[in-house]
Structure 1
Amino acid sequence: MSVDRTVIVLAAGQGTRMKSSLPKCMMPMLGRSLLGHVLFAAEALGAGRTMVVVGHEAERMSAHVAEIAPYAATVLQAQQRGTGHAVRVAADALGELSGTVVVLYGDTPLLRRETLAAFMGAHEAAGNSATVLTAEVADPAALGRIVRDADGGFESIVEFRDASPGQRAIREINSGIYAFDAGALREMLSKLVSDNDQGEEYLTDVLGMLRRAGRAVGTHTAEDVDDTLGANDRAQLAQLQAIMRDRVNGGWMRSGVSMDDPSSTLVDVTVRLEPDVTLRPGVQLRGDTVVESHAEVGPDSTLVDTSVGAGASVVRAHCVGAVVGAGCAVGPFAYLRPGAVLGEGAKAGTYVEVKNSTVGSGAKVPHLSYVGDASIGADANLGAGTIVANYDGVAKHRTDIGEAVFVGSNSVLVAPVTVADGSYVAAGSAIAEDVPSGSLGVARGRQHNSQGWVAKRRPGTKTDEAAQRSK
């Protein structure tokens, strides 16, 4: 149920230091964009209105917001004239405001729901006109400092460039995340000015104005300083991803998932794992991947939007949009492409590629094979080097391989073709016509041996000497 809260997320900047064609807030991190992580955290507030302020690549950003958070609206900040100006643009677009307004930033992906909930609870319980989320950091660097009065209450926020040596020694910093009484915020936004070096309207000025007006301004300190971290370049982005990776992996391990090397294991926040799953080093699980109990993935495997059944094994494989049934064996060095469906106990082995095909229960494609646009029946076996030739240069065609079929090594099945239940294909055949049930399909030239060829054409070679000795 929504409550009388409004969330405003500032995401108008370009993020030039990322040096990316993507707007900074759209940069990906473990299954969501930076902005997506922030909006996910904000959902826990139950706000009745969520507004994202966009600017750089506004159309692209708006489309992204519509995709990941259809409940959120966007508003354009055509000129980036500071955080205060951005909030005023959002407030004007929202119209009448009441209750609590929370201001967040679209590049703080580590912000957690529990941190926001505690922050909001502290603000509303105190009845403050404004509350700022702070953090105690070992190295505050160039961040704004929280200056407190003699009683320990909030006095001001001092930017690094304006801070005295004593103030620069303060380790409590401003996260830039605020909660406001809507009426107080609206009143002070109308009084903001831009008479500073940057010619911008600063949201931090609102807190000072409120305090000078005798309004209650409070602070709430985040239990985990990582919640407040943002990313300005790709090096910082990697640092944030490492923190999130450790959080995600730690949660899964506490839920019964085994990881040999959590530092080399990347699991998107959208992935679902069951207890007793084992992830070996070098595993990446992306998108809507699901891995069921007692399955083992890795080492060195990437699964994207793939489901893995209970007790299956996926070793050094790349799987995208695939279904791996219970007890299956995949890899090493297999490639399952979209539409690949392996039934219970099936096998797709070494250097096997499967695309848009079903492999029936107990069926085996052990090595060096390509299967595309095909169905393979239960308990069938495709020998090494079997190729399903599904493409004629213009269109794709289907191949049906029945139950308990045995296809000999180095065979080509030229689609469209059916190899019916219980039939054989002789090794080295190029099958272009249907093979009836219970039959042996042979499609190859007869062998001819030229007697004495080595002695005539390769006399004196090691081969010839070996042939002479064998006589």
Structure 2
Amino acid sequence: MKKEDMTNQDLFDTNHTLAKLLFEQTTYPWEVLPKISEFIVSLGQRLPKDEYVHVGKAVWIHKSVNLPPTACMGENVIIGKGAQIRHCAFIRGNAIIGDFAVIGNSSEVKNAIVFDGAQVPHFNYLGDSILGFKAHMGASSIASNVKSDKSLVTVHAEDGDIETGLKKFGAIIGDFAEIGCGAVLNPGTVIGPKSNVYPLSCVRECVDANSIYKKQGEVVEKTVTEE
């Protein structure tokens, strides 16, 4: 995947997130990550009071959402209409959870945007990342957000490395992407829309849209069988 294919408009339909304005103010998704917290505070104050409950200092929850008593939540959070927050979910803070999204059993979300209909359902970690419209993380798949040597994260584009200047940056996962169970997306990974990542994969690169990541060095284009 080349850098020119990693713009916000290439990866996401921003009509499916409350953070649409934030994406319109930036070009590439990693530019969004440092701005999430401030944006939430600003947006939350403008949300309709007849639809959202304002809890604590900076948490807004749509009235249609039922929070289980075992869920844990930090500051600077917006949870959209019809979202499912399940048993032992940990929304650590600085997170926008879209309409009808799922944050499931023992899953942790931190400094992230989860688009409408996206799913983080079972034992997942999504840190400093973006999960696109109706994208899905299989059980125990994670977006690792810090390099082992603690150096700044680089995006390895096809046409050259991109220095992000970020120490914490997990994964960018495009609309309708499917991440297989137990997969690890290493810091700076970009997965294109409608792509699949095989279970138990360890991904360290950028995967084109409409592709299947089988293993390192083996990425194939999806084929459509016509009836």
TM-score using structure 2 length: 0.61
CA pair 342-286 structure 1, distance change in 2 beyond 3 A: closer
Aligned to 1:369, which of 124, 135, 148? 124
- SS of 1:339's equivalent in the other structure is strand
Identity of aligned residues (%): 28
- SS of 2:168's equivalent in the other structure is coil
Let me know the Cα RMSD of the aligned residues. 2.3
User: Is 1:311 matched with 2:61?
Assistant: no
| Contact residue 337 and residue 354 of structure 1 kept, 8 A | yes
Whole-angstrom CA distance in 1 between matches of 2:125 and 2:215: 19
| Contact residue 431 and residue 442 of structure 1 kept, 8 A | no
Q: Which runs of 5+ in 2 are unaligned?
A: 1-48, 151-166, 217-227
1:224-262 Cα distance to aligned partner (Å, 9 max, x none)? xxxxxxxxxxxxxxxxxxxxxxxxxxxxxxxxxxxxxxx
| Contact residue 357 and residue 371 of structure 1 kept, 8 A | yes
| Contact residue 126 and residue 170 of structure 2 kept, 8 A | no
Residue 388 of structure 1: how far off its partner (Å): 0.6
Whole-angstrom CA distance in 2 between matches of 1:382 and 1:352: 11
The one-letter code matched in structure 2 to 1:414 is N
Q: Which runs of 5+ in 1 are unaligned?
A: 1-272, 278-284, 289-304, 445-471
Structure number with higher helix proportion: 1
CA pair 286-342 structure 1, distance change in 2 beyond 3 A: closer
What is the aligned partner in structure 2 of residue 139 from structure 1? none
| Contact residue 342 and residue 361 of structure 1 kept, 8 A | yes
Whole-angstrom CA distance in 2 between matches of 1:411 and 1:351: 17
| Contact residue 55 and residue 61 of structure 2 kept, 8 A | no
The one-letter code matched in structure 2 to 1:440 is I
| Contact residue 78 and residue 96 of structure 2 kept, 8 A | yes
- SS of 2:207's equivalent in the other structure is coil
Whole-angstrom CA distance in 1 between matches of 2:98 and 2:55: 22
Hey, which bits of structure 1, 4+ residues long, moved more than 6 A? Answer: none
The one-letter code matched in structure 1 to 2:207 is V
Aligned length: 150
Aligned to 1:414, which of 186, 192, 217? 186
Structure with bigger RCO (C-alpha 8 Å, 6+ apart) = 2
What is the aligned partner in structure 2 of residue 287 from structure 1? 56
What is the aligned partner in structure 1 of residue 74 from structure 2? 320
The one-letter code matched in structure 2 to 1:318 is C
| Contact residue 143 and residue 170 of structure 2 kept, 8 A | no
Whole-angstrom CA distance in 1 between matches of 2:55 and 2:137: 30
Aligned to 1:403, which of 175, 181, 186? 175
What is the aligned partner in structure 1 of residue 90 from structure 2? 335
Whole-angstrom CA distance in 2 between matches of 1:398 and 1:353: 13
1:323-350 Cα distance to aligned partner (Å, 9 max, x none)? 1111100121011012111111101000
Structure number with higher strand proportion: 2
The one-letter code matched in structure 1 to 2:128 is D
**Over alpha carbons, which structure has the higher Rg?**
1
| Contact residue 368 and residue 384 of structure 1 kept, 8 A | yes
What is the aligned partner in structure 2 of residue 344 from structure 1? 99
| Contact residue 311 and residue 326 of structure 1 kept, 8 A | yes
Residue 398 of structure 1: how far off its partner (Å): 4.0
| Contact residue 312 and residue 328 of structure 1 kept, 8 A | yes
TM-score using structure 1 length: 0.30
Whole-angstrom CA distance in 1 between matches of 2:109 and 2:204: 20
